[in-house]
Every structure is written in C-alpha cells, then in structure tokens.
Structure 1
Amino acid sequence: MTSLAVTRATLARVLRDRTALFYMVLLPVAIIVVIGVTVRGFDEFRIGLVPAARTGPVAGELLSGLQDAPGLRTRTYDAEADARTALRRTELDAVVLVPSGLDAAVRAGRPVTVTVLVEPSGSAGFSAVSSVSAVVAEHAARLQAARFAADRTGGTFDDGLVLARGAEQASAPIAVRTETVNGQSDFLPLGYSYSTPTMLVMFVFINALAGGAAIVETRRTGVYARALAAPVAARTLVFGETAAYLLLAVLQSVLIVGIGALAFGVAWGDPLAAGVLIAMWALVGTGAGILAGALFRTPEQVHAVGPTLGIGLGMLGGCMWPLAVVPEWLRTAGHAVPHAWAVDAWTTLLSRDGDMSAILGEIAALAAFAAALLTVASLALRHRLIADGGA
C-alpha cells in the first residue's frame, strides 16, 4: 500500500461521513451566508427616496442615478411621513425628497432644490449628504449640458438631453484616485471583507482539529494495526493521512474564498500572495489536526477540546477583534499563536494592497509553525501507530 492509496482511502472515508461533511461544508457555509447577509451593506449609506406623485423622465433619471450609485443602499417610500419615521428610528441615514414639478422647472430654466433630511444627532447622515450631493451634481451637470446644446442648436430641451447623454457616453470618464502617502491600516476592511478572512482562519483550524477525531477512531477500530500487519510502514500511513487532511483543508479554504468572492464580492488581494497564504495556513491546520489525532484517546475528547481550543486561540490571535485595539502585552501574547500571523498577513493584503514581498515575514512565521506542528505530529502519530500495532 502506498501513501497515495492511504490518502484516497482517508478522503473516501471522510466524504462518506455525514457528520464530518456537516462541520466541514454545511456549517461554515451557513455561518458565512448568515454573516454575509447581516453585514452586507455595512459600508453603505441607507437612503430613503420619496418621489413626487407625478414623476417625469428627468426626475426618474435622478432616482435611477441615486439607486445605482455605489455606496448608497436605497429604499423608496410613497409617503414622506413614512420616510421621516424610518429616519427617526435610525433605519435610514438620510431621506431625499424629489420635488414635484422638477421636469417642468428644468425645462423652463428655473432652479430646483432637492431636499435631503438627516437626523442632527447622527454623524452618518451628514456623510450621506455628500454622497447624495455628488449624484445630484452629476445629474445637474447633464441637465446644464442639455440646456446648452438646445440653445446652440435651436432644438428642444429633450433633443439637447439626448445629445448630452450621447456625449457623456462617448467621452472617456475622468477617474479620481486617492492615495495616502506612507499610510497603513491596522484593520481589515469593514463589513463582510473583515469577517471572511478571519472566518477562514478560524474554520480551517477548528475543522482540522476536529478531523483528528477520525484519526483517533481509525486507531481505536484497529484499521492502522491491520494495515501495519500487511505490512505497511508507519511513515507511509502518516504521510498518506497528512496529505489527505491537507487536501481537505485546502478544499475548505477554496470553498470559503469562492463564496466570499462570488456571493459577496470580497476581494482577496494579490492572487499569488493569497494562494501561498491559504496553502501555508492549510499546512498549519493539518499539523494541528494530525497532532490531535495522535495525542487524544477518544473522538469525544477531540470534539470536546478541539472547538474550545480553536476558538480560544482564534480570540487570542485576533480573529474576533483586531489586535491593534488591545494592549501591547496582549498583542505580543497573541503572536505566540499562528492565527495572529495569518490575520496580519490578510490585513496587509486587503487593507494595504500588499503583495507577496509584503507578507514574507508572516509567511516565514507560519512556515515555522507548520514545520514544528507537522514534525511533532508526524513523530507522535508514528509512535502511536507502532505502539498500537504492537499491542
């Protein structure tokens, strides 16, 4: 029996285990989706739109611009009173009142005022006004261009508006890029982009520890002992099991990355750096899982201790809150576990637009953790298999 055969057998056994699949696939996916739905729009302003009773094409275009604007999450209300109530309940950051007669006023060349309501005690409302004002200003510039075109060509306002739209689509947009010189963020991006990398770190490690229960059960049922009697070298079994659990950790990481990117638009940064980081973290988790399978005597012990240990190390390593906000001594203690180095690397990739060279220090630290865990785990499991086989 080769190591590859051991890997195939282990993968087949795990994939047939419904309990293992629940913890590896269904539970992470369910939590990811729940958190994603909950925090989605966390970095958007909530805007209530109150259109006039009769909305013409010009007013309709303004409403469409507000609805499609990035950074704004809009909801339309039929009555101004309902929108004001939602604003008082802090369900909205601002309310936009589209005035009646907007189309007629624009065609007649009269100024139009778009009223924006905010709560004076809320800071988000005044920031939302800036975003709304940008959309309204863009719309007003288009209308001014239409008026200018109509005056020049002697046509109607609607003809000028068509010309203005065509010129706007044909011209190359001017992009504004802001950059803070020597600026760095110690925090992951807000919203779902914050929770997804930390969930990857947490789930892969916890599920790797839980995978140790399958190793304990295989030991207890004598499968390894019969394999050693074949005879099969203990190192072959150890290498095959390690490869199998490494593949499972990588597959779970790819699942989390795919859901975050496809369903919630999470950007994972430089592809090469992210791939290396995911692979290195999978090695760390695999080492921890193999070590748990070698040290514990019953699967119940693994299930009882593994999640608690995984969550505790995750909290210490900054998966629950940024280590930048904790005291210096706790930040130093947090870097005694691999989770902190993984979160630091994700922070560099996602908040500082880093690449592979920017996370070499974190990768080296994770490689040291992985090497130590895999070495100790391999020796412990090999010793355990030899002892069980001779019993």
Structure 2
Amino acid sequence: PIKNISILSGNVIATFIAGFMNILVMVYGGKYLFHIDWGKSDIGVLLLLGAFIFTITCLGLFISSFFKTQQQLSSIVPVITVSTSMLGGCMWPLEIIQSKTLLFIANLTPQKWALEGIKDMIMYGHGIESIVTPVLVLLLMGIIYLALGIRFINASK
C-alpha cells in the first residue's frame, strides 16, 4: 500500500524533471545553435524557468483534482492556459492595460511573474538579483497549488 502523497509527489517530480529537461534543451539549444542571447546569467534564466515549471506542474495537479476523466481535463486545460497567458501578459504587454482589475488578476497568474523576470534579465540586462521576487512568488504559488491539489485529490477519494 502506497500513500496518495507518495504517488502524487512522484508524479510532480517526474513531470518537473521532464519539463526542466525541455527547458535545458530550449535554452542551450537556442544559445549554441541559434545564438540566442539569454542575458547575463544562464543560471538565473534556468532558476526562473525552473520555478515556473514547478508552479505550472503544481497548478496542473490542482486543476486535475476537479476532473474525473482525462477527456474532461484535456478539454479545459487549453482554455485555462490561453486565458491565464492573456491575463499574464504573454499575448500583449501589460503596460497597455489600464484596468486596475485586470492588472490585479494578472498578478495572480504564474505567466506574469515568469515574464517579468525574463524581461528584467534579458531585455533590460539586469543580473540574477532581478529575479528574486518573481522566483519567490512563483515558488509560493507552486506550494499553494500543490497543497490545494493534494487536499482536493484526497478529499475526492
């Protein structure tokens, strides 16, 4: 008998590792094959993207706790992904948004914090110190999503 927490932790860890491996290929493949400039600190970029992957993985666990079948989950994930990406500034810059409500909601999306850190490091040339707040916020979001996901999955059993 394996506890639910062990199974869920194993799934989160395996998903995180797979996502991080993809990021490694993207960052270093882009750097050496396509000469993409990732800013002053590759480690900072990887740290920020690692925190983002952790948060998104835990968000996926949280969202999956509400659905009973894979088809239900796969039908709602694109809606959540696109809408949070829009709100987080991935589709257009948040600087053009005037609504205080939308800007507040943007602060609740992981995409906003990851994009803010990436912009600071790559576009504006800041060092690794510029990502401390985004990384901490992403890790906090991830921990909250993980705790809620585990709680709701355990409650549904």
Larger helix proportion, structure 1 or 2? 2
Tell me which stretches of 4 or more aligned residues in structure 1 moved more than 6 Å. none
- Aligned partner of 2:5 in structure 1 is 235
- 1:302 equivalent to 2:73? Answer yes
One of 280, 284, 298 as aligned partner of 2:51: 280
- 1:350 equivalent to 2:133? Answer no
- Aligned partner of 1:340 in structure 2 is 112
Residue 333 of structure 1 and its aligned partner are, at CA, apart by: 2.8
Question: Is the CA contact (8 Å cut-off) linking 1:317 and 1:337 kept in structure 2?
Answer: yes
Counterpart residue type for residue 242 of structure 1: V
Matches within 5 A, 1:39-188: none
- Aligned partner of 1:248 in structure 2 is 18
3-state SS of paired residue (1:295):
coil
Question: Is the CA contact (8 Å cut-off) linking 1:284 and 1:366 kept in structure 2?
Answer: yes
Residue 261 of structure 1 and its aligned partner are, at CA, apart by: 2.3
- Aligned partner of 1:362 in structure 2 is 134
- 1:378 equivalent to 2:150? Answer yes
RMSD, matched Cα: 1.7
State the identity as a percent.
Answer: 20
- Aligned partner of 2:89 in structure 1 is 318
Question: Is the CA contact (8 Å cut-off) linking 2:110 and 2:138 kept in structure 1?
Answer: yes
Rate the CA distance shift 1:333–1:238 in 2: closer, same or farther, 3 A: closer
Larger strand proportion, structure 1 or 2? 1
Question: Is the CA contact (8 Å cut-off) linking 1:324 and 1:331 kept in structure 2?
Answer: no
TM-score, length-scaled by structure 1? 0.38
Rate the CA distance shift 1:275–1:321 in 2: closer, same or farther, 3 A: same
TM-score, length-scaled by structure 2? 0.89
Counterpart residue type for residue 358 of structure 1: S
Residue 328 of structure 1 and its aligned partner are, at CA, apart by: 4.9
3-state SS of paired residue (2:14):
helix
Deviations 1:1-34 (Å, cap 9, x if unpaired)? xxxxxxxxxxxxxxxxxxxxxxxxxxxxxxxxxx
Residue 379 of structure 1 and its aligned partner are, at CA, apart by: 2.1
Q: Give unpaired runs (5+ residues) of structure 1.
A: 1-230
Structure possessing the higher relative contact order (Cα contacts under 8 Å, 6 or more residues apart): 2
Q: Partners of 2:154 and 2:33 in 1: how far apart?
A: 42
Q: Partners of 1:295 and 1:354 in 2: how far apart?
A: 40
